[in-house]
Amino acid sequence: MTTTIIASAAPRPPTTRTRLALLATATAVGSIGLAAGGLAGPLLAVELTGDPATAGLPIGVHVAGSAVGAVLVSRVSARDGRPAGLALGYLLGAAGAVIVVAAAAWAGLGLLLLGSAVFGVGNASVFLARYAAAATGGPATRGRALGIVLFAVAAGAVAGPNLLAAGGTLASAVGLPHLTGLYLISIGSFLTAAALLGALTRASERPAARPAVRRAAVAGTGVPVRAVVLLAVTNLVMVGVMAVAPVHLVAHGHGPALVGGIVSVHALCMFVPSILSGPLLDRVGPAVVTTAAALLLAASGVVAAAGSDDGVALLVSVSLLGLGWNAGVLAGSALLTAGVPPQDRLRAEGRGEVAMGLAAGGGAPVAGLVVASGGFVALGIGAAIVVLVVAVPVAVTLMERFGEPSQG
């Protein structure tokens, strides 16, 4: 009798739908904090130093922190479960935001850079959540789960930048510099995301130990390497083009309203289509979606080169760029998940995020050099060539293995 009562009183593990809903909600809330690193960080650096040349420093260390954070979150996830790893990333991101606020109050650039690096760990949790979603269901619904969580990121992509004024009002009300407002909002969003993952942390199962013979067998398929390359090239092209596109638009006489609108449309194209492209991935398979990504990204480069001085042409270009990024990240993530056994996935996912982070860190300066030497036309053509040379062969070599969407 006693045993029966204890068993019936034990908490039931959350269902697949509940897990996915909590992951998506936590990602949506946590993604609101992303705007601080990309928008407020550069502005704070210039305000503290008076030197525009320092604007890129917070973003640089933020990207580095995100890459290191991906490794940390993946290792904790391997030991204690994915929700625990993601929650830790959010908590560290909140701590980084606190450091940045202190740096702004004490006018310390070094402290700002330290805080930006730690803040980047929260960024890693936002994007690693898509792999946790993919693990909630079976292979037949992997794309749908990936798409739902990437769609959730759209909440932060849209809401975050629009909170700059409200955040400034909040910061001023508590006696802090105006630009710390977004970081104050980030603290709340990251802590809330970590709290939402609390229930999943207690219910998650610890990953099983990895057999020693498994790694050699997986390495022979080549799938993880191709998936990581696809993710890296997709991010390289997107970040490279978008790092210089706003500057190029302003230099050709386009006003801030047009520039802001184009960037917003690009962000929407990156995340909002996931609600449709995710299920499509389940239907047609990652190889087909990889081909679509290559064509979209290449078309973006061609349109940018053909109409480099025209605002409408660039709007079309960055829209195609966002759609191509969406398809490339979904396909690369699915390939990485399907091509690696469950025991090895967390390590592979961390490597994939590090590759994306390194590509983002290198994409902006490389793009700047290309534009300086050959103009925006050269950047568009170069981006198209890089994508076609890398992504299309990946799709061709994987077509036979992943011809059926349910494989892996």
Look at residue 46 in the predicted model and tell me its pLDDT.
83
Q: Which tokens hold the place of 55? A: 């604007």
Orientation of helix 311-338 relative to helix 109-134, angle to 10°: 60
Q: pLDDT of the chain along its 408 residues, tens only?
A: 444 444 444 455 567 788 899 999 999 999 988 877 777 888 888 888 888 778 778 877 888 899 899 999 999 998 888 899 999 999 999 999 999 999 998 878 899 999 999 999 999 999 999 998 888 867 778 889 999 999 999 887 777 777 878 888 898 899 998 888 889 999 999 999 999 998 776 655 555 554 444 443 334 446 678 889 999 999 999 988 887 777 777 777 767 677 777 878 888 899 999 999 999 999 988 888 998 999 999 999 999 888 877 878 889 999 999 999 999 999 999 888 877 787 788 888 888 888 888 888 787 778 878 888 888 889 889 999 998 888 878 777 766 555 444 444
Q: Are 391 and 233 in contact (CB under 8 A)?
A: yes
DSSP state letters, 225-280 = HHHHHHHHHHHHHHHHHHHHHHHHHHHTT--HHHHHHHHHHHHHHHHTTHHHHHHH
Could you tell me how many helices (H) and strands (E) the chain has, helices first? 18, 0
Spatial separation of the C-alpha atoms in residues 246 and 255, rounded to whole Å: 10
What is the model's pTM? 0.81
Q: Are 201 and 87 in contact (CB under 8 A)?
A: yes
Q: Which tokens hold the place of 268? A: 């929407």
Spatial separation of the C-alpha atoms in residues 37 and 275, rounded to whole Å: 26
Estimate the share of the chain in helix, then strand, then coil, as percent rounded to the nearest 5: 85, 0, 15
As a dihedral over the C-alpha atoms of residue 325, residue 280, residue 32, residue 103, rounded to 10 degrees, the angle is -30
Q: Taking CA 162 as the corner, what is the angle to CA 115 and CA 253, rounded to the nearest 5 degrees?
A: 100
Distance of CA 220 to the CA centre of its chain: 28
Spatial separation of the C-alpha atoms in residues 60 and 52, rounded to whole Å: 15
DSSP state letters, 124-164 = HHHHHHHHHHHTTS-GGGHHHHHHHHHHHHHHHHHHHHHTH
How many residues make up the chain in this entry? 408
Spatial separation of the C-alpha atoms in residues 139 and 112, rounded to whole Å: 43
Spatial separation of the C-alpha atoms in residues 35 and 58, rounded to whole Å: 13
Look at residue 248 in the predicted model and tell me its pLDDT.
76
Helix (H, G, I), strand (E, B) or coil at 340: coil
Q: Which of 136, 121, 150, 120 is nearest to 38 (CA)?
A: 120
DSSP state letters, 5-50 = HHHHHSPPPPPHHHHHHHHHHHHHHHHTTHHIIIIIHHHHHHHHHS
Cβ partners under 8 Å of residue 355, min gap 6:
228, 229, 231, 232
Q: Are 147 and 276 in contact (CB under 8 A)?
A: yes
Look at residue 73 in the predicted model and tell me its pLDDT.
94
Q: Are 63 and 37 in contact (CB under 8 A)?
A: no
Spatial separation of the C-alpha atoms in residues 32 and 40, rounded to whole Å: 13
